[in-house]
Amino acid sequence: MKTLTRAEEEVMRILWQLKKAFVKDIIAEMRDPAPAYNTISTVIRILEKKEVVGYKVYGNTHQYFPLISEEEYKRQEMKQMMASYFDNSLPNMVSFLVKDNDLDVSDLDELVKLIKDHKNKK
């Protein structure tokens, strides 16, 4: 899957929320000033080419829906970020996040709990 631009991600977030929508529905969910109809229509066509959005035809209009889940997209983006910036090393990425975000003790405790819970499930 190809990485999405900021505009494409914004449209996808709306589609994930609505499950299916016409262009006018997507625009209605956007912050003012909302982009023009043609702009969103173009973004949708790009998302179709990237194979992350599908559609159903109703006469002269199309109803769009996501072909990938938000979870799938997040997973792919995190893998890409880890590969690009952290040499495919999860410890390097977590270390960066811990150092750069000035985490407090409760945040660290929560991370340890998540790791232990995940380990116990396996």
SS (H, E, C) the chain: CCCCCHHHHHHHHHHHHHCCECHHHHHHCCCCCCCCHHHHHHHHHHHHHCCCEEEEEECCEEEEEECCCHHHHHHHHHHHHHHHHCCCCHHHHHHHHHHHCCCCHHHHHHHHHHHHHHHHHC
Residues 48 and 63: beta-carbon distance below 8 Å: no
Distance CA 46, CA 49 (A): 5
Please state, in angstroms and as integers, the Cα–Cα distance from residue 111 to each residue in 4, 42, 85, 89, 108, following that order.
28, 41, 21, 17, 5
User: What's the domain count of the chain?
Assistant: 2
Residues 99, 51 share a domain: no
**Which comes out higher in pLDDT, residue 112 or 49?**
49
Does the residue 72 lie in any domain?
no
In this prediction, residue 7 carries a pLDDT of: 94
Residues 41, 11 share a domain: yes
pLDDT > 90? residue 111: no
Does the residue 78 lie in any domain?
no
Instruction: Tell me the pLDDT tens digit for each residue of 40-94.
Output: 999 999 999 999 999 999 999 999 999 999 999 999 998 998 899 999 888 888 8
pLDDT > 90? residue 100: no
Does the residue 114 lie in any domain?
yes
Instruction: Tell me the pLDDT tens digit for each residue of 14-37.
Output: 999 999 999 999 999 998 898 999
CATH number of residue 61's parent domain: 1.10.10.10
